[in-house]
Chains A and B, each alone.
Chain A
Amino acid sequence: MSDQVQEKESLFSAKNRKLISNAIGKDNPITVQVLGICSALAVTAKLEPAIVMSISVLFVLGIGNVVISLLRNTIPQRIRIIVQLVVIAALVILVDQVLKAFAYEVSKQLSVFVGLIITNCIIMGRFEAFSMANKPWPSFLDGVGNSIGYGLILIIIAFFRELFGSGTILGWNVFETIGLYDIGYVNNGLMILPPMALIATGIIIWVQRSRNPELIKD
C-alpha cells in the first residue's frame, strides 16, 4: 500500500484507483482492519448521525492526509505522533464548531463522538502508514477511500438498526406506511442498544469473508 507513487502518473491510474477500491473492499478499515469500531457502535442507532459522522471523518481524514503529506519532509521524526495529533485535533474541533453552528440537532445526537474522532484509530493509522510516506494526491485518495469504506459500513449498520429498531428511515415512518404494525410487528428495542451494532458488524464481517476467501489467512 505504501509504495512510492511514480512521477508523472495519471491522476486516476490503476494504482491510484486501487487506493480507493481496496479501502472500501478487501482492506476495509472496519471489517478487515477492525479499526474505528467504537464510533461505529455508538453513532449507528439512527441513519442521520451515521451519515454526518461519515462526512466528518471524510473531511478530517481527507484534509488531514493531505496536510500530513505536505509536511512529511519537515516533520521531525521524534515528535511526529504529536504533530499528527495536533492536525487531527485542529480539524476535529473545526468540524465540531461548524456542526454546532449549522447542524445543531445532529451535533447534539453525535455529542461526544465528534470529539472522539481524535482518537479514531483509522485516522492515526492512515497518517502513520500512508501519508507520512506518500505524495499529497495519493494520500488524499487514500484518505477518501478509507473514509468511504468506514462510512459505508456505518451507513449499512445504521440503516438496519434504525429500520428494525425504530421502524423509520431518516425519520420517515417506513413500517407504518407499509402497514407492518397492523399485522403485529413491534419495534425491536434491542436494535437500538449498542450490542446489536457489534452483532451487525460481525455479520457484515462474516458475509465479506465468506465471499472473499483470500481474506481468511489462517
Chain B
Amino acid sequence: MNSNSNSYIFIYSVVMVVIVAAILSTAATLLKPMQQQNIKNEKMSSILASVNIESTPENAEELYSKYVTQELVVDAKGEIVGTFENGKLSGDARAFDVNIKAEQFKQSQGEAFISPLYVLKNQGKTFYVIPMLGKGLWGPVWGNIALEDDFNTVVGVIFDHKGETPGLGAEISTPIFESQFVGKSIFNKSGEFVSVTIQKGGAQTLPANMQNHAVDAISGGTITSVGVDDMMKDCLKNYVPYIKNQK
C-alpha cells in the first residue's frame, strides 16, 4: 500500500491513537490508587503540620488518626451538620471529604454551603484546624490555620501554592513567613472578627493595637500576599458564627 495515500494515513492514525489510548488508560487506572493515597497523605501531613506535628508520607495516616479526634462540618449558621469521630460518621458529610472549592462556588452563588473543621488533641490541649483555599498570582494557594481552644490565638499556619514565583510569591510556604503568624489573634479586644492582615511595608507600620492582627507581607510578592490575606479573611469568616456559638 502506498504510504502516502489518504487511506493509509487514515488507518495509520486510527491504529496509533487506539494503541496509545489503551496504554495510557491502563497506566492511569493502575496508578490511580497510589496517587490518591499520596494526595490524602499530603492533606493529613498539612493538617498535622499546622500544629507543629511533623509527619512523613509513611506515618501521616497513623499520626492523623492518633491526633485528630474529631472532624466537624459546620454550616453558615454555625450549626454542626456532620461529625466524624472514632471512624464513625454521624450527620451529612465528613470534613476530610468536603470539597472546599465546590463549597466556595456554592457560597458565591448564594446557596447553602458547609465548611470543614478539624479538632486535634495533643498533650492535653485542644486545637482547631481550619483549611483555607484562595487565589495567588499564578494559581490557587491553600493552607491550614490552627487555633487554640479560645478560637482566637493562632498556633500555626501552613501555606502551599500551585505555582507562585520561586523566591517571591513562593515564599509564603517557607517557615520564615509562616512563623510570623504564631501567637497572633483573629478577634480584636472587643470581640470583632479582624483576621490576620498581611501588611505591605511590615506589621510595625500599623497602629500598636493592630499589630497583634498583622504580619509582614512578602517583598516582591504583593499579589500573592494580597491573595493570602483575602483567603484568610474569606475562609475564617465562615467559622465566626460557629465560634460565637461556642462562647
Contacts and interface: CB of A to CB of B under 8 A. Distances in A.
Interface of A: 45, 74-79, 82-83, 86, 90, 93-94, 97-98, 100-102, 104-105, 111-112, 189, 192-194
Contacts of A90: 20, 23-24
Contact of A97 (B28, B41, B163): B28
B110 interface: no
Interface string B148-179: 00000000000000110011000000000000
Given A83-B16, A93-B27, A97-B31, 14 more contacts: A45-B166, A74-B12, A75-B12, A77-B4, A86-B20, A94-B27, A97-B27, A97-B35, A100-B38, A101-B31, A101-B34, A101-B35, A104-B41, A193-B167
B42 interface: yes
B27 A192 contact: no
A111 B16 CA distance: 28
Nearest to B32: A101
Contacts of A86: 16-17, 20
A102 B34 contact: yes
Contacts of A97: 27-28, 31, 35
Interface of B: 3-4, 8-9, 12-13, 16-17, 20, 23-24, 27-28, 31, 34-35, 38-39, 41-42, 57, 162-163, 166-167
A189 B12 contact: no
A4 B34 CA distance: 44
A102 B37 CA distance: 10
A45, A76, A93, A189, most chain B CB atoms within 10 A: A76
Contacts of A77: 3-4
A192 B4 CA distance: 50
17 contacts: A45-B166, A76-B3, A76-B8, A78-B4, A83-B12, A83-B16, A86-B17, A94-B23, A97-B27, A97-B31, A98-B31, A101-B34, A102-B34, A111-B163, A112-B163, A192-B166, A193-B167
B12 A79 contact: yes
A79 B9 CA distance: 8
B146 to A, nearest CB: 22
B162 to A, nearest CB: 7
Contacts of B34: 101-102
A194 to B, nearest CB: 8
B3 A74 contact: yes
Contacts of B24: 90, 93-94
A111 B34 CA distance: 18
A84 to B, nearest CB: 11
Instruction: For the complex of A and B, list the 5 residue pairs with the smallest distance between their C-beta atoms, beginning with the closest.
Output: A104-B38, A101-B34, A101-B31, A192-B167, A90-B20
A59 to B, nearest CB: 13
Nearest to A109: B166
A82 B31 contact: no
Contacts of B16: 83, 86
A45 B166 CA distance: 9
A132 to B, nearest CB: 13
A93 B26 CA distance: 12
Given A76-B4, A83-B16, A100 B31 contact: yes
Contacts of B166: 45, 192-194
Contacts of B31: 97-98, 100-101
Contacts of B20: 86, 90
B13 A79 contact: yes
Contact of B167 (A78, A104, A189): A189
Nearest to A100: B35
Contacts of A45: 166
B9 A76 contact: yes
| Max chain B Cβ within 10 angstroms of own Cβ: one of A77, A98, A100, A102 | A100
B35 A76 contact: no
Given A76-B8, A82-B13, A101 B38 contact: yes
Contacts of B42: 104
A154 to B, nearest CB: 16
Contacts of B8: 76
Nearest to A194: B166
